[in-house]
Structures are given as structure tokens and as C-alpha cells.
Structure 1
Amino acid sequence: MMASTFETIWDAVYADMVGLGLEGLSSGEIKQQQFSYNPASQLFVEGIFLCPANELLPDSGSNQRMLTSYGISVTMIKASNGVLGKGALSPILQWRETIRLRYHDRRPITVAGVHRFWCEPGDMVLPEAFEKQFDASAFVIRADTYEG
């Protein structure tokens, strides 16, 4: 069975992200999974989590093709001391900037059908992670395709 367009994009973004060599992260700390934490146990672990995000279907395209904007949620999590202040945010802010600069309004990787990537702003800091002794930040990478 052929992989879906969504899965193909997800795999390509993951492979590219592993190849970025983000400081302080091993390739095993960049993961593809349904959620950025375990919803059953409410446990967080360190790393970058690439998760499916809802696609957008803007009302534009041609008479024969429809614009679809697939989303990959990027959540960056680092252990924290639970004290307000910069804490563990420095590496997260560096990762966020590196990824955003690579993907926003560009096409850094070739994926069949994708004509543009862009970044949808997300929460700079996630309070629910801070309550569990982690600093976290998230946004969505969008991949625009024409389908139909």
C-alpha cells in the first residue's frame, strides 16, 4: 500500500530534522508520534516531537486542483528546574529559530507535490509542561500542495 501524502511529508520533515544536527540533541531525541507527550500518563520527556496537525483547506486553487496545507506540529521539550526565569529555554529558542528559518516560506526539501513550506506560529511557552518541570515550545510546519 502506498503511503499517504501526509505520511510522505511527515517522513521527509523528520529525516530533514534529524539531519539538521541541532545542538544538544541526538537523532534518537527527535521523534515521530501521535502526541508530544503520553496522554495516558501525562508524562513529558525531552526532545523534539513531530506530530500530525490538522490540514488546512483554504478556499483557493484552480478549477481543477485544490490547495491543501498539511501540518506537522513541532514540539520542543527540555527538562527544567521549575523556577521562573530563562531556565532551559535557551536551547529550545535556538532549535525553534533554526527550524523556523529553514522552513518558513521556503522549500528546503523536495517532497512530491509540495510547492511551499511555511511556519504557523504557535505557543512560545507551554504552561502545562512547566507545571511538570519542563520548558516547552511549539509551532506547526505547513506543507502546501495542490491536489485533485
Structure 2
Amino acid sequence: MASIYDFNAAKLSGEDVPLSEFKGDVLLIVNTASKCGFTPQYEGLETLHADLAHKGFKVLGFPCNQFGKQEPGDAEEIANFCKLTYDVTFPMFAKIDVNGPSAHPLYEYLKAEAKGLMGSKSIKWNFTKFLVDREGQVVKRFGPQDTPEKIRSEIEALL
């Protein structure tokens, strides 16, 4: 059975990381952007990460520039923004595409496992979230309007 552990992704630093590194953790995988109306969700994501890390929870952030060109920066600019503006400590990965022919294979898998409204696969906007259980299976997709605070109880139920 496939899982997210079958994929690798590059961190902002450029280091290639097998997602099997996160085996046993509950994960919230999020496509992020620095110049979006939903960008303040970084604060809630960091709070979740900090509050629940000791229970085996991690947020994984994947910057994406496909929606309104709201993530125009390079890796260094993204890292500086996340650290200086929201003091992000959760893992941030290299900028990727989440839709189209250049979509990252991890996102192809996530979209197939948890479809959006009316069965659509494509990601509609920044800060779409995928909740993944300790076995690497996708449990649920949340839209950008679903704040970290709103989905906390569903995360805690998997911990």
C-alpha cells in the first residue's frame, strides 16, 4: 500500500529528505505562500506544531507560487520571511507546484487520496491542508478557510 513515506522532497536548504523520516508522526501538509490573505495561518500552524510536537505531530510546509503569484521569493527569502515574521520552526520545503504537469509527486498522491469539493483533485488555493496519520495514510483534506485552530481537535484525535 502506498503512503507518503514513498516520496522525497527537498527542504528550503536544498537537502533531499525522504518523507519516511516522519514515520510514526501525525502530519499536516500545507501548501503555503508569504503574500496571501491566508498567510497569517502560519501563526496557527506554528502554535499547533509547538503545542503538539511532544505527542508526535509535525507541520510540513510547501511554498507554492501557483495561486496569484503569492510566493515570489527564492528559498532564502521564504526562510527569512517565515522565521522573522512568524518564527516558524516546523520543516519548510523547497517551493513546488501542486497542480499541473510539474506538480510534485507527493501532491499528486495527496490529491488522489483526499479529493476536494465535488471530487475535484486540483488544489484551489494556498493553505490547503492534508492530515496524515502515523502510518502515512491521508486522512482528510481541509480547504484554505479551515484555520489551524478549527482543525485542532481532528489532529488531536489522531494523537
Give TM-score scaled by structure 2 length: 0.28
Larger RCO: Structure 1 or Structure 2 (Cα < 8 Å, ≥ 6 residues apart)? 2
More helix by share: 2
User: Larger Rg: 1 or 2?
Assistant: 1
